[in-house]
């Protein structure tokens, strides 16, 4: 089978690796640097060292990337869309322009191909596209990977939800089942709108959970209690569980903020207070954290890493960056240690030497504590209770 993967990001590249084991895969992107990386058999994003073993070097060498639409789409059986769908801001729907332009190209260059959307889209989008093109071969298969475990999660998914209950959905289910023949993955076939809902409600639930444990942590801080002891006690209840409960400066990253915002837009017509207030809770948490940090130190405030999570190379919608912006707006001096960025004058003074950064900082704010900063523990401000995401 020939598969064209459109968009060489975390989602596109990981899906290409998955399907290239038993299919011919061509990747397409408008970003030439990513095309070059793929054709040089290198990663288009930073791979955490523990994921290196997941990369089958022979599979990577077989991948081919291009920005030539004819080469990408000709004789393609399946087009996988994994382009970005950015937020247009609070109260606005997701920007689906990229996905719409890829569907238009696919219809022109590969009219018989099944189009599988893996980008996150609003509820009802796939149905609208099938109506627009008078077809039934555009389907949504939500991707649930975590950015700092993109390859692992793609190879070992928690579930596969295929958003089509008819023959096209069955064909795509078979394609995924073949890719996962060695793992025990639950499959579900739903309508396209239900699959779109699964994606948005999943991420909004996760955002709500982070917001809940962050508000618990705010309570503990205000009452001089140990958050770790309280959260551990809660986690013994299997209905609550002990994952996704580690306090932070706020939730962030590419997906949780934009997906919860998208659901809040949809809920503007639905009687509800919870969904909309998850976003408010996260804003309040970042403001509260910024104030606590400023109150803890009168000197320069150092930030260790800007990434939302340990082992991540992504700063998209990072809560750390939002907290820095609040602190900077109060005229406070901010120092930053972030090996993946050399300079950003709007955020603060960047250091590439950890010791020099630690010496110059009055406190060191760490969203997540890693072994390399343990030696500075007297200076560290962190709400990380469990040394994990
Ligand atoms: N990152 C995640 O953790 C994650 C998880 C699940 C779902 N998603 C969703 O998957 C989609 C992709 O996410 P990502 O993190 O891989 O994004 P990304 O920003 O890493 O990659 C997107 C790629 O699409 C390319 N692109 C944009 N417009 C294009 C066009 N018109 N034609 C060809 N290429 C184009 C960009 O150049 C970029 O390389 C988004 O909708 C996102 O919400 C992301």
Per-residue pLDDT tens over the stretch 323-350: 999 999 999 999 999 998 888 888 999 9
* Cα(85) to centroid(ligand 1), Å: 7
For ligand 1, whether the C-beta of 333 sits within 6 Å is no
pLDDT at res. 112: 96
Residue 57 has pLDDT above 90, yes or no: no
Q: How far apart are CA 258 and CA 204, in angstroms?
A: 9
Each residue's pLDDT tens digit, 120-148: 999 999 999 999 999 999 999 999 999 88
CA–CA distances in Å: residue 20 to residues 28, 60, 82, 171: 14, 8, 16, 18
Residue finishing a domain among 137, 172, 190: 190
Mean pLDDT value of segment 275-291: 97
| Residue 214 CB–ligand 1 contact under 6 Å | no
From the CA of 175, how far away is ligand 1's center (Å)? 22
Whether residue 311 is found in the same domain as residue 231: yes
Q: Is the residue at 389 inside a domain?
A: no
Residue 204 lies in a domain: no
Q: What's the rounded mean pLDDT across residues 35-62?
A: 85
Q: What is the mean pLDDT of residues 210-235?
A: 98
Tens of pLDDT, residue by residue over 76-85, are 999 999 999 9
Contact by Cβ (8 Å): 327, 301: yes
pLDDT of residue 307: 84
In a domain, 173, yes or no: yes
Name the active-site residue from 135, 183, 255, 297: 255
Mean pLDDT computed over every residue of the chain: 95
- pLDDT (0 to 100) of residue 51: 77
Tokens of 276: 């909309």
Residues 355, 290 within the same domain: yes
Q: According to the model, what pLDDT value does residue 389 have?
A: 82
**Is there a single domain that holds both residue 275 and residue 328?**
yes
Give the range of the structural domain holding residue 76, as residue numbers without chain letter. Answer: 2-190
Residue nearest to atom 41 of ligand 1 (CA): 119
Ligand 1 atom 33: the closest Cα is on which residue? Answer: 29
Q: Same domain for 235 and 146?
A: no
Question: How many angstroms is it from 84 CA to the middle of ligand 1?
Answer: 3
Is the minimum distance from the CB of 11 to ligand 1 under 6 angstroms? yes
Does residue 118 register a pLDDT over 90?
A: yes
Domain assignment present for residue 198? The answer is no
How many domains does the chain fold into? 2
Measure CA of the first residue to CA of the last residue in the chain; give whole Å.
38
* 184 and 37 within one domain: yes
Judge whether residue 215 has pLDDT over 90.
Answer: yes
Compute the average pLDDT of residues 366-388.
Answer: 95
| C-alpha of residue 11 to centroid of ligand 1, in Å | 6
Q: Same domain, yes or no, for 140 and 24?
A: yes
Quote the percentage of the chain above a pLDDT of 70: 99
Same domain, 184 and 327: no
From residue 323, how far is each of 78, 130, 212, 276, 295 by CA, in Å? 43, 42, 19, 21, 14
Tokens 């039934």: give the residue: 136
Confidence band (pLDDT; 50, 70, 90) for 274? Answer: very high
Same domain, 168 and 256: no
- Name the pLDDT band for 309 (thresholds 50, 70, 90): confident
pLDDT tens digits, one per residue of 176-201? 999 998 888 999 999 999 999 999 99
Helix runs in 267-375, H state only = 274-296, 319-329, 354-360
- CB-based contacts of 311: which residues, under 8 Å, 6+ apart? 48, 50, 148, 149
Of 38-52, 129-143, 269-283, where does mean pLDDT reach its minimum?
38-52
For 244: left if phi > 0, alpha if psi spans -120 to 50, otherwise beta; the answer is left
Residue 182 within any structural domain of the chain: yes
**Residue 283 reports pLDDT greater than 90:** yes
Q: Is 7 in the pocket of ligand 1 (CB under 6 A)?
A: yes
What pLDDT sits at residue 328?
97
Query: Do the domain assignments include residue 195?
Result: no
212 inside domain: no
340 or 240, which is more confident: 240
Whether residue 135 lies in the annotated active site: no
Q: Within this chain, do residues 168 and 263 fall inside the same structural domain, yes or no? A: no
Residue 381 near ligand 1, beta carbon < 6 Å:
no
Q: What is the per-residue pLDDT for 52?
A: 76
Q: At 238, which CATH number?
A: 3.40.50.720
Q: Indicate the burial class of 199 (C-beta count within 10 angstroms; 0-12, 13-18, 19 or more).
A: buried
User: Ligand 1: does its nearest atom lie under 6 Å from the Cβ of 148?
Assistant: no
Examine the domain organization and report whether 178 and 247 are in the same domain: no
Give this prediction's pTM.
0.95
Statement to judge: residues 31 and 111 lie in one domain: yes
Pocket probe for ligand 1: among 7, 207, 261, the residue whose CB has the most ligand atoms within 8 Å is 7
Give the span between the Cα atoms of 13 and 64, in whole angstroms: 11
């Amino acid at each position: 089978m020939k598969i064209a993967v459109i968009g060489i990001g975390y989602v596109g590249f990981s899906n290409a690796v998955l399907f290239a084991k038993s299919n011919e895969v061509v990747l397409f992107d408008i970003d030439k640097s990513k095309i070059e990386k793929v054709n040089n058999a290198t990663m288009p994003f930073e791979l955490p060292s523990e994921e290196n073993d997941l990369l089958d070097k022979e599979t990577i060498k077989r991948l081919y990337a291009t920005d030539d639409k004819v080469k990408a789409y000709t004789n393609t059986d399946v087009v996988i869309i994994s382009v970005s769908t950015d937020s247009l801001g609070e109260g606005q729907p997701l920007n689906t322009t990229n996905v719409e332009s890829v569907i238009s190209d696919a219809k022109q260059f590969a009219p018989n191909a099944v189009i599988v959307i893996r980008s996150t889209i609003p509820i009802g989008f796939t149905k609208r596209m099938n109506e627009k093109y008078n077809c039934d071969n555009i389907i949504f298969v939500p991707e649930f990977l975590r950015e700092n475990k993109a390859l692992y999660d793609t190879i070992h998914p928690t579930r596969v939800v295929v958003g089509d209950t008819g023959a096209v959905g069955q064909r795509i289910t078979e394609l995924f089942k073949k890719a996962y023949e060695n793992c025990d993955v639950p499959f579900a076939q739903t309508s396209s709108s239900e699959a779109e809902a699964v994606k948005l409600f999943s991420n909004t639930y996760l955002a709500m959970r982070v917001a809940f444990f962050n508000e618990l942590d705010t309570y503990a801080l205000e009452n001089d209690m140990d958050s770790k002891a309280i959260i551990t006690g809660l986690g013994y209840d299997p209905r609550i569980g002990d994952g996704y409960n580690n306090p932070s400066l706020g939730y962030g990253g590419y997906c949780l903020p934009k997906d919860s915002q998208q659901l809040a837009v949809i809920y503007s017509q639905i009687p509800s207070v919870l969904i909309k207030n998850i976003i408010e809770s996260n804003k309040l948490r970042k403001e509260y954290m910024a104030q606590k940090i400023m109150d803890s130190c009168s000197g320069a405030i150092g930030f260790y890493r800007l990434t939302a999570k340990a082992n991540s190379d992504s700063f998209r919608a990072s809560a750390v960056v939002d907290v820095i912006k609040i602190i900077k707006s109060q005229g406070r001096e901010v120092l930053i240690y972030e090996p993946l960025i050399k300079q950003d004058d709007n955020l603060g003074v960047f250091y590439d030497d950890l010791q020099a950064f630690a010496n110059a900082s009055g406190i060191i704010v760490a969203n997540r504590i890693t072994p390399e900063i343990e030696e500075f523990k007297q200076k560290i401000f962190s709400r990380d209770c469990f040394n994990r995401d």
